[in-house]
Amino acid sequence: MEMETVATHSEPRTGPRLTSRSMNPEGTVVNVGGVPIGGKEIVVMAGPCAVESLEQLSVTARIVRDHGGAVLRGGAFKPRTSPYSFQGLGEEGLKLLGQVKGETGLPVVSEVMDTREVENVAKYADILQIGSRNMQNFPLLKEAGDSRVPVLLKRGMMATIEEYLFAAEYILSRGNPSVILCERGIRTFESSTRFTLDLNAIPILKHETHLPVIVDPSHGTGHRWLVPSMARAALAAGADGLLMEVHYCPEDALCDGTQALYPEDFGKLMEELRKIAAAVGRSIYVPA
């Protein structure tokens, strides 16, 4: 029963951790519905912060796909500071993600906040996202580790690199090797951005671990006008991918509208990213 399980996992490990670069020096490539994350090609994941309606998701997904995005993001369960803010569409949102995935062929990443929802979200999403506020929600990490679905684990806004790698270790140690790391901004004294996107984390993580590392410049800065600069910088620093918010009509977004890119800005940015990728000897992944 439970105690046995705990006992197994609390034995001190000898040798390197499962997340150590030395466990897989060439780097792990996580396969998500045919999209390889962590290889030579850079993967762009984009979409709205929250799933709001079929029209919103469907139109935005086509914009993402047509400009070269390879994975669709969209939250059905939303962690919100206030209980009185929009909390996401829940189950209904998952179904819309499933429907739009069918329409566009884009694999889907969506957040799971509750251990009891892991199985359900995994029915619709190709990647389970664990958000910044849950980076040290250990029961959730264990549950995600027990599933066999790739996990996008966001860095806690207050987490050191070492704590972050230990959080990933929770997932790997349960038998799930498919973890994608994502820098999304840390909390500092600076108040002109919502968070301080910490691009230093990219080369450090690539040095310490074999797991893929992507960057979320939308949450990391909180302002859409900062996204293009920081997205370019992330690729130049060695990121394996980007997670960005795009909305067909940011003014109407129910959540975080100020950080979502307009469709035309997303297209322009993808052009710039292709040039940066080439400058570092890589390319942007294009779905077949």
DSSP the chain: -HHHHHHHHHSPPPSS-TTBGGGSTT---EEETTEEESSSEEEEEEE-SB---HHHHHHHHHHHHHTT--EEE-BSS---SSTTS----THHHHHHHHHHHHHH---EEEE---GGGHHHHHHH-SEEEE-GGGTT-HHHHHHHHHS-S-EEEEPPTT--HHHHHHHHHHHHTTT---EEEEE--B--S--SSSSB--TTHHHHHHHHBSS-EEE-HHHHHS-GGGHHHHHHHHHHTT-SEEEEEB-S-GGG-SS-GGGPBPHHHHHHHHHHHHHHHHHTT-EE----
Q: From the CB of 33, what's the least distance to a second copy, in Å?
A: 26
By CB under 8 A, is residue 283 in contact with a second copy?
Answer: no
By CB under 8 A, is residue 252 in contact with a second copy?
Answer: no
Closer by beta carbon to a second copy, 65 or else 219: 219
Of 28-36, 41-49, 258-266, 276-284: span binding a second copy (CB under 8 A): 276-284
Closer by beta carbon to a second copy, 31 or else 237: 237
**Nearest Cα to 244, choosing from 281, 204, 205, 284?**
284
Closer by beta carbon to a second copy, 238 or else 267: 238
Count of residues that interact with a second copy, criterion CB under 8 A: 83
By CB under 8 A, is residue 272 in contact with a second copy?
Answer: yes
Closer by beta carbon to a second copy, 28 or else 173: 173
Q: Fill in the per-residue mask, 96 to 135: x = in contact with a second copy (CB under 8 A), - = not in contact.
A: -----------------xxxx----------------xx-
Q: What are the structure tokens assigned to 48, written together? A: 């709205």
Q: From the CB of 190, what's the least distance to a second copy, in Å?
A: 6
- Choose, by CB under 8 A, the member of 25, 26, 81, 286 that binds a second copy: 81
Say which residue the tokens 């709205």 belong to. Answer: 48
Q: What is the CA radius of gyration of the chain?
A: 18
Rounded CA gap, 145 and 171, in Å? 4
Q: From the CB of 5, what's the least distance to a second copy, in Å?
A: 6
Question: Which phi and psi (to 5°) does residue 12 adopt?
Answer: -60, 130
Q: Fill in the per-residue mask, 53 to 72: x = in contact with a second copy (CB under 8 A), - = not in contact.
A: x-------------------
Of 31-39, 40-48, 136-144, 259-267: span binding a second copy (CB under 8 A): 136-144
By CB under 8 A, is residue 275 in contact with a second copy?
Answer: yes
**Residue numbers 160-219 binding a second copy by CB under 8 A:** 160-163, 166, 169-170, 173, 186-193, 196-200, 202-204, 207
Q: From the CB of 34, what's the least distance to a second copy, in Å?
A: 28
**Residue numbers 10-29 binding a second copy by CB under 8 A:** 10-13
By CB under 8 A, is residue 2 in contact with a second copy?
Answer: yes
By CB under 8 A, is residue 269 in contact with a second copy?
Answer: no
Of 2-10, 31-39, 67-75, 245-253: span binding a second copy (CB under 8 A): 2-10
Rounded CA gap, 173 and 236, in Å? 32
